[in-house]
Amino acid sequence: MGSLKSGKSIIYERDDKGTVWARYHGETERWIVGEPRASYSPDYSEWRELNAAAEQNPTLRALLEKTINTYRLIKQ
């Protein structure tokens, strides 16, 4: 990875496949800064393991609670 050019603005673009590209304003050369992630769904046994791990890890517990609350809000 190179260093940033001082005083140059970076333009971010997303293509139709979800890849995020960056380029300097006024230039055509660009580089990838992000790619789409594959969707993921845990099975029931993994969900139970996540909940068991969350009992020992407050950060994981808080994130699971936020996820569940968000789901309940958008489900309404």
Domain positions in the chain are 7-39, 44-75
- Tell me: the pLDDT tens digits for 27-66? 999 999 999 988 888 899 999 999 999 999 999 999 999 9
pTM for the complete prediction?
0.48
Place 26 in a pLDDT band, splitting at 50, 70 and 90: very high
Is 63 within 8 Å of 51 (Cβ atoms)?
A: no
d(CA 47, CA 8): 46
The confidence score (pLDDT) of residue 2 equals: 66
Pick the closest to residue 19 from 28, 8, 30 (CA basis).
30
Starting at the edge strand found earlier in the chain, the sheet holding 20-24 runs 10-14, 20-24, 30-34
pLDDT for 13: 96
